[in-house]
Homo-oligomer: A and B are copies of this chain.
Amino acid sequence: MLAVVMAVPSFIAYSQEAIFPGTKEIVSPEVKSDGSVLLRLKADDAKKVYVVGNITRFYKPEKEDSEASGPVMIPMENHDGIWSVRIDSLVPDVYTYKFLVDGVETGDPLNSYVIRDVSTVSNMVFVPGAESESYTTRKVPHGTLARTWYPSKFKNCDRRMSVYLPAGYETSEESYPVLYLLHGMGGDETAWCDLGRATQILDNLIAEGKAKPMIVVMPNGNMAMDAAPGESTGGFAQPNFYLPNTMDGAYEKHFPEIVSYVDKTFRTKTDRDSRAVAGLSMGGFHSLYLSANYPELFSQVGLFSAAINSGRDALFPEIYSDRTQKIHRLKDAGLKLYWIGIGKEDFLYGDNEKFRAELDAEQIPYTYVETDGGHEWTNWRRYLTDFLPLLFR
């Protein structure tokens, strides 16, 4: 077998484009069995290197810096040009990070895992454990993730959506209930899978019998886009956080086109008890108003850190006014689940509190989950994991 071993290296060196000469004598990130993460960077000439990203969330600096503002930065230590830091006490989760090398944002050249959140690309490191178990790809039956395009008469173009089909869809002849799962502002039809690990969560919960097999439709909620950045006919403009036609009623008016396409194209159950809508932030706003305006479509609703009060009712009354009456109609049509989740530190906490008071006053029942943390994917992954088992019961 020696010949194989010997024959390989020269082939390796050239067999696909070897773009950069990475320095691979050090490892980064290194995830230790105790859940701590070591990060390393070779930067001989650097004067100061920090780690930034959500991996800093549990970091307490030794002395408070009263001047500190902006993101938390963890200083790294220099040993002969290799900068390193050990970050511990991390709750098992998906973490993002970057280095700041003398003020320049730098990805970790030794880490091939990156995720984009709106217009920021960060490195990703996964800390395994009980809390993140449902985010891993396990040896269970896997669903199919399809990126497909549906025709919109409303926008006079085709628009892209992600569709999760549960394991066995291709060979079974069953029909399935449908969850419409909506992203936040600046997100797109890829966000729930790339950042939210929705396919893994679905595969795992369904395999364990905790969630019902279901189809999950993740459309693009920005009416100014036809698809995610890079996949759009708009070319390669840098992603924008705020786009025209956001939260102006257009998405909600257009939404029945999506439901109609999905019911025509996939083997769906089409009764309202087999349909749910949920979303994060702006997607929670959309879920609130989609369910309120189309009580005939949905009986189950999830509001994850939802943008509740946006002053839109006076501007776009057709969709956003008379919220309470509309939710009453939804209740009268049969409201199987109205789920609200929010973090204690979320800047939308107060608006959600007011909304709950409104529901209480109207005796509209809902399920409420309050977590630590703020407006962040850590919570949205957790909310999805908690929400899915409640659907289609």
Contacts and interface: CB of A to CB of B under 8 A. Distances in A.
Classify the interface of chain A: helix, strand, loop or mixed.
loop
Interface string A331-359: 00000000000000001000000000000
Interface residues of A, number: 102
Contacts of A314: 3
A160 interface: yes
Interface in A243-287: 248, 264-265, 281-282
B230 A117 contact: no
A11 B185 contact: yes
A95 to B, nearest CB: 11
A47 interface: yes
Nearest to A185: B15
A305 to B, nearest CB: 9
Contact of A232 (B11, B121, B124, B137): B137
A231 B41 CA distance: 26
Nearest to A28: B238
5 contacts: A11-B185, A16-B186, A17-B375, A141-B149, A142-B149
Contacts of A209: none
Interface string A100-142: 0111111101111110111111101110100000001111011
A137 B103 contact: no
A53 B157 CA distance: 36
Contacts of A116: 112, 114
A106 B107 contact: yes
Given A19-B96, A22-B120, A144 B146 contact: yes
Contact of A98 (B20, B124, B232, B311): B20
Given A137-B231, A144-B149, A15 B98 contact: no
Contact of A11 (B107, B147, B307): B307
Contacts of A125: 236
B120 A41 contact: no
Contact of A170 (B1, B18, B121, B265): B265
A219 interface: no
Contacts of A119: 22, 112
Given A116-B112, A315-B4, A235 B15 contact: no
Contact of A281 (B15, B54, B126, B171): B15
